Amino acid sequence: MPMRRMTRQRRAVMEVLKSTRSHPDAAWIYQEVKKRVPSISLGTVYRTLDALVKEGKVIALHTGGATRYDAFTHPHAHLVCTACGRVEDLELELPHLLEKAQAQNPAVRLDAVRLTFEGLCADCAQNRLEG
Ligand SMILES: [Zn+2]
Ligand SMILES: [Zn+2]
């Protein structure tokens, strides 16, 4: 595949992912990228996402169902809503958690902390109160 085409597809995937905070799956990303690059295939979207994850530019979230993707790679935690399945960003300070864990487990090499909570998103929590 010519390099220029690859770069364009890659940029489109990145732009689509940065345009949302909904932590979409590959199928949704594919639908959105197709609007910009109609010739792109689902396989290319998967391969592009794979490469971006390996390079640390995108986080892959394994939430039980489909893998979801997040282009915001600053340290943050997630809430998976057990009622509607939505994945939201959570404000949470995690000072030095990685360094502490590394110090206590010197034989392994820790690269990142991924913290996922389960519960109800704001909408579902509100519905629960009203219902
Ligand atoms: Zn919810
Ligand atoms: Zn996130």
- Rounded distance, CA 4 to CA 58, Å? 21
In angstroms, what is the span from residue 68 Cα to ligand 2's centroid? Answer: 10
- Provide the domain limits for residue 79: 74-131
Residues 41 and 57 in one domain: yes
In angstroms, what is the span from residue 56 Cα to ligand 1's centroid? Answer: 28
Proximal ligand: closest to the CA of 120 = 1
Last residue of a domain, one of 56, 71, 86: 71
Residues 59 and 43 in one domain: yes
Q: pTM for the full model? A: 0.81
Residues 46 and 85 in one domain: no
Proximal ligand: closest to the CA of 127 = 1
Residues 24 and 62 in one domain: yes
Proximal ligand: closest to the CA of 92 = 2
User: Which CATH number belongs to the domain containing residue 102 in this structure?
Assistant: 3.30.1490.190
Residue 30 in tokens: 């594919």
What confidence tens digit (pLDDT) does each residue in 65-113 have?
789 999 998 878 899 999 999 999 998 777 788 889 999 999 999 988 8
Proximal ligand: closest to the CA of 63 = 2
Count of domains in the chain? 2
